[in-house]
């Protein structure tokens, strides 16, 4: 069984993706033995009405997910009322976590609002997913060049936020190993594998950081789901380690589902 911690609903704004209909996406995941998929919304990158983005995400997960799709709401702390968006994610939509896109929303991890957001999310016992990038800068439209998030400040912010549960998603290959390790060793921090590159890349990754900190993520439908699956299969990890990566570690991060939660 697989828990995929990184999928997206709605439309990628710059090209059509096969599988971007919620019904098709859920059907594809079920065929691949996915029992749970943590879903963000592409709309959360560029839309200003974040409340509507999160409402549509929650509705789509209920309508098409059949227990598989678990919504992770978008929060843009540079928009007015973002604290209410955070509250609605937990109280109204029963989301277990949120997904952040700092580079698209115009703030750095040095910004005090980032630390404030982490503290408020932690107080609400929400998992925080931080997207390092969404697309290789070489393929981005000329008028929307968005570099990866600079994670250099992350370790200190994590240390100052006790109880934070953080997952790094879409970790670009140009993130230095030192900064990567510093962030993952600063607290309860995890990383998924969708952008791990190279032969036996996942096998090398679990020699650099603890296996218990590594999660399965496909970044489907932007990437082919089979790409992430192949990374695990050719990793050289034994069966128990593959099971930990594909399922057990994510269950540990998620923890018990709160009453009324969509996270089943």
Q: End-to-end distance of the chain based on CA atoms, in angstroms? A: 14
In a domain, 263, yes or no: no
Evaluated on CA atoms 249, 214, 190, 104, the torsion sign reads negative
Q: pLDDT by residue (tens digit) across 112-154?
A: 999 999 999 999 999 999 999 999 888 999 989 999 999 999 9
Examine residue 243 and state whether it is found in any structural domain, yes or no. Answer: yes
Tell me whether residue 104 is in a domain. Answer: yes
pTM of the model: 0.94
Closest CA to 186 of 208, 203, 166: 166
216 in a structural domain: yes
CA gap 103, 196 in Å, rounded? 20
- Nearest Cα to Cα of residue 36 among 259, 249, 260: 249
Domain around 34: 2-254
Residue 62 maps to a domain: yes
d(CA 2, CA 51): 30
In a domain, 264, yes or no: no
Total structural domains within the chain? 1
Which value, to the nearest 10 degrees, does the dihedral of the CA atoms of residues 108, 190, 185, 198 take? -90
**Within a domain: 261:** no
Q: What confidence tens digit (pLDDT) does each residue in 39-94 have?
A: 999 999 999 999 999 999 999 999 997 789 999 999 999 999 999 999 999 999 99
Residue 259 lies in a domain: no
CATH of the domain at 248: 3.20.20.140
pLDDT value of position 260: 43
pLDDT band, very low/low/confident/very high, at 259 (cuts 50, 70, 90): very low
């Amino acid at each position: 069984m697989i828990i995929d911690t990184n999928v997206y609903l709605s439309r990628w704004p710059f090209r059509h993706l096969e599988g971007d209909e919620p019904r098709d996406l859920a059907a594809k995941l079920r065929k691949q033995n996915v029992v749970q998929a943590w879903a963000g919304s592409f709309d959360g990158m560029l839309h200003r009405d974040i409340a509507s983005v999160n409402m549509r995400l929650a509705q789509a997960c209920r309508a098409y997910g059949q227990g598989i799709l678990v919504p992770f709401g978008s929060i843009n702390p540079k928009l007015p009322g973002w604290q209410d968006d955070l509250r609605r994610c937990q109280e109204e939509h029963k989301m277990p976590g949120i997904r952040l896109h700092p580079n698209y929303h115009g703030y750095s991890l040095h910004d005090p609002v980032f630390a404030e957001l982490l503290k408020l999310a932690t107080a609400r016992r929400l998992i925080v997913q931080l997207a390092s990038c969404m697309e290789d800068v070489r393929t981005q439209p000329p008028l929307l060049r968005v570099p990866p998030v600079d994670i250099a400040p992350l370790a200190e912010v994590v240390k100052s936020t006790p109880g934070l549960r953080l997952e790094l998603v879409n970790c670009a290959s140009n993130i230095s190993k030192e900064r990567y390790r510093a962030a993952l060793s600063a607290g309860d921090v995890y990383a998924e594998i969708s952008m791990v590159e190279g032969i036996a890349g996942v096998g090398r990754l679990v020699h650099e950081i603890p296996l218990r900190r590594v999660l399965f993520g496909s970044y489907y439908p932007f990437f082919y789901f089979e790409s992430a699956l192949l990374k695990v299969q050719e990793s050289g990890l034994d069966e128990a380690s593959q099971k930990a990566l594909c399922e057990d570690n994510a269950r540990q991060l998620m923890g018990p589902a709160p009453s009324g939660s969509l996270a089943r």
